[in-house]
DNA sequence: TCTCCTTATTACTCCGACATATTACAGCGA
DNA sequence: TCGCTGTAATATGTCGGAGTAATAAGGAGA
């Protein structure tokens, strides 16, 4: 069989390979992609910067070149970097980034998120969500309403101060997007849901829940359930505007 | 130096490694990702299906496991597939796909695109673009107007029948998104631009340019240049509605 | 019937080498 | 001196194989 041991014997007391967060179900290259992604989004590597060569960087991270390359492929797929022979791997300009990608959003909010970017996300919400609520009011079926009702009940039960409550909030908004029966809009749900989640988390970080969000949500729900498109659109617009106001006031401190 | 030849000697007359489209600047794993991506988007591999194991599939494609794995990482990053030990690599349900990702959109339009999906994309356009035109009218600066003016001139010069004309059309819409000075909206530009491009290509495939799109664009441009937000929004809404109508009529044949 | 454990399968990680593409420079010619 | 062309250096790209770890499935026991 051969006793030639060539595998990864990283030494008996080398501890662990630096990849900080690495639970089960979280692969090594995924952890590295997360590490590099947050580094880029936080500005540690600016657009135009060239990363150290594969060999050097992989060695620095104490991982194999294969794992490093697979991580870079992920970043490339999301438009963050570009690799060319001889030229190296360099960070692309910001307008090439897929900012709506759920992972990229997660990386953006991993550190201290840009205030201007949060404003932009709310502007996107204020465009998409009222229109989505209008369509949902026109097209929702019984099961859509059921999901929204349950999400609303869960929000009431847990409040948005808990993780379960925020998940219910996300579910509520996702249910509206799904009720439009439009795949393209549903794809935005992941992005918008992420924005909803992290911004609410930010709101309550600053001050303890400045306002009860339940009534706003109930108004949206009632309008959609009643099939009143105009009312649904208006109610959702009011909800987003109020959420933006709360978030803005808690960020200006 | 050793004469032990172990590298990739694919035989003298093996032709090429099956990866069909593979130009310079187009890596092997990129080509494989494209191949698999189009296969998934076209429905050749349905959600829930399990791909053959790494070894078997890589062998079938006549590429190394490394290249195959890097391609799969790309698909994973875009939410198309998920890999787990023992379970294999399986196609995720459609609602997990990042349908707004430019590459995914390209793969979706590589074959015969779903008519319903095109309708959904137009619905997204009819939500986002009028709102974007409104913001652009409020925030545009001189350079924004300049870019739009040039794109419009290029459209007039080449007509949308040519590739250069379609590129100008895309540039025009991108310029509007960019004039909002909102990063999140600009990220949508890539997706919407792709939709604009392929749908116009489809329109003229069926019938030779049913209507001159220039006047619609001029109305939008004038309103934005004049800073009239309401007019810009209305003009853009009309433009998208007319484009949808043209596309729909050319698809129903 | 249910839970726990064992086992087999599959993806995951590592390694070292060779191939290829692209940049940068040097030499040459106009 | 300027511009072009061919050559060499270098980093990414690709390859094959070996060994590890995680998980789903099946079997043993309660």
- The distance between the two most distant Cα atoms of chain A, rounded to a whole number of Å, is 76
Count of alpha carbons within 13 angstroms of residue B146, beta-carbon side: 3
Residue B71 has pLDDT above 90, yes or no: yes
Find, among A234, A186, A223, the residue nearest to B124 by Cα. A186
Q: Domain B28-96 classified CATH 1.10.10.10? A: yes
Same topology, domains B28-96 and B113-251? Answer is no
> Distances in Å between the alpha carbon of B28 and those of A130, A158, B169, B220?
44, 50, 32, 43
**A41 reaches B (C-beta below 8 A):** no
Å separating the CA of residue B86 from the C1' of nucleotide C1 = 27
CATH topology of domain A114-251: 1.20.120
In this predicted structure, what is the pLDDT of residue B8?
41
- Phi, psi dihedrals of residue A14, rounded to the nearest 5°: -85, 0
Find, among B73, B82, B78, the residue nearest to B47 by Cα. B82
Kindly report which listed range (A123-137, B26-40, B131-145, B183-197) carries the lowest average pLDDT score.
Answer: B183-197
Q: What is the tens place of the pLDDT at every residue in A146-156?
A: 999 999 999 99
- Find the residue in A nearest to B118 (Cα): A184
In this predicted structure, what is the pLDDT of residue A161?
81
Q: What is the DSSP letter of A4?
A: -
Asked if B74 lies within 8 A of A73 by C-beta distance, the reply is yes
Q: What is the pTM of this model?
A: 0.89
Q: What does the domain layout of chain B look like in residue ranges? A: 28-96, 113-251
Residue whose structure tokens are 């799109």: B213
Q: Which residues contact A42 (CB under 8 A, 6 or more apart)?
A: A110, A111, A112
Q: Domain B113-251 classified CATH 1.10.287.3510? A: no
> Distances in Å between the alpha carbon of B189 and those of A246, B193, B242?
29, 6, 20
Q: What is the mean pLDDT of residues B246-250?
A: 77
Q: What is the DSSP letter of A78?
A: T
Kindly report which listed range (A18-27, A163-172, A236-245) carries the lowest average pLDDT score.
Answer: A18-27
Contacts of B69 in chain A (CB under 8 A): 66, 70
Question: How many beta-carbon pairs under 8 angstroms link A with B?
Answer: 102
Q: What is the mean pLDDT of residues A44-48?
A: 96
Q: What is the tens place of the pLDDT at every residue in A187-231?
A: 988 888 877 777 777 676 666 556 788 999 999 999 999 999 999
Q: What is the tens place of the pLDDT at every residue in B173-223?
A: 999 999 999 999 999 988 888 777 777 776 766 665 567 889 999 999 999
Å separating the CA of residue B83 from the C1' of nucleotide C4 = 27
| The token pair that represents B137 in the structure block | 């009218």
CA distance A232 to A224: 6
Q: What is the mean pLDDT of residues A16-22?
A: 56
Q: What is the tens place of the pLDDT at every residue in B54-67?
A: 999 999 999 999 99
């Amino acid at each position: 069989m051969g006793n030639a041991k060539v595998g990864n014997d990283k030494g008996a007391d080398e501890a662990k390979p630096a990849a900080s967060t690495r639970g089960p179900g979280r692969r090594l290259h995924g952890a590295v992609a997360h590490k590099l992604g947050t580094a880029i989004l936080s500005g540690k590597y600016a657009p135009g910067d060239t990363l150290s060569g594969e060999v050097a960087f992989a060695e620095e991270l104490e991982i194999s070149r294969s794992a490093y390359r697979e991580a870079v492929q992920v970043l490339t797929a999301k438009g963050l970097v570009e690799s060319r022979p001889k030229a190296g791997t360099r960070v692309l300009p910001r307008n090439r980034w897929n900012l709506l990608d759920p992972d990229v959003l997660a990386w953006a909010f991993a550190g201290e998120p840009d205030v201007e970017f949060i404003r932009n996300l709310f502007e996107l919400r204020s465009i998409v969500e009222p229109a989505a609520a209008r369509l949902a009011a026109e097209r929702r079926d019984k099961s859509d309403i059921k999901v929204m009702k349950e999400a609303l009940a869960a929000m009431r039960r847990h409040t948005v101060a808990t993780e379960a409550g925020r998940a219910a909030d996300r579910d509520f908004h996702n249910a509206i997007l799904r009720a439009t029966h439009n795949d393209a809009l549903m794809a935005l749900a992941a992005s918008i849901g992420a924005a909803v989640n992290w911004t609410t988390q930010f709101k309550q970080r600053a001050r303890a829940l400045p306002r009860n969000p339940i009534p706003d949500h109930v108004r949206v729900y009632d309008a959609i359930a009643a099939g009143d498109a105009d009312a649904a659109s208006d109610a959702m617009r009011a909800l987003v505007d109020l959420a933006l106001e709360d978030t803005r006031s808690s960020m200006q401190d």
